[in-house]
Structure 1
Amino acid sequence: MNEQLYFNDQAHIAEKFLMIQDHLTDTSRMAVLKIRNWKLVEHLPETSQRYRKHMQQTLFNVVPNEFVLCEVGYHFSPINN
């Protein structure tokens, strides 16, 4: 019972691309809204401190390059650029 899940690999690749693109668009939109809200409350001292801490925890976290390359599988498969 070795059935294929997808009969057309191009359709699967296109669908996966669209799903990732939609997720990326939504995530980017959320980041822009967070930054806009931060700029709106920046002049209020008590709210600004709390929001700055929230922004540091959510948006401004640093990820090393090696982690990203490993997640993508750069070291395990040859890529022609």
Structure 2
Amino acid sequence: MKPRITLISNDQDFIAEKFRIADNHLLSASKIAMLKIQSWKFALKTPEIGPGYLESVEDIIRNSFFNFVPPSHVLSEESFFFSPLEN
């Protein structure tokens, strides 16, 4: 008779994989943001770029980087309110 193998629930692999995916996503988003900032800086130094383009770049920067997000929105997006026992 073979000994019975007991299965123990271990979420370490799942948590590690979830962290790795989130870290890779953050790294990719950071690289894209850096490339956009570099291209905007290059556009500011290039005299051939029209003023309309520069105004649109300023609007994009103002609308993306300087928006206020309430803390409750961030907490709800991170599922803080959905599982109060795990907070």
Between 1:21-30 and 1:62-71, the stretch displaced more is: 62-71
Q: CA deviation at 1:17?
A: 0.6
SS in 2 for 1:61: coil
CA RMSD of aligned residues (A): 2.4
The answer for unaligned runs of 5 or more in structure 1 is 1-6
- The code of the aligned residue for 1:30 comes to I
* 2:32 matches 1:61: no
The answer for unaligned runs of 5 or more in structure 2 is 1-8
Matches within 5 A, 1:19-30: 19-30=21-32
Superposition misfits of 4+ residues, deviation over 6 angstroms: none
Identity %: 34
Larger radius of gyration: 2
Count of residues in correspondence between the two structures: 73
SS in 2 for 1:73: coil
Higher relative contact order, structure no. (Cα contacts within 8 Å, ≥ 6 residues apart): 1
- The code of the aligned residue for 1:65 comes to P
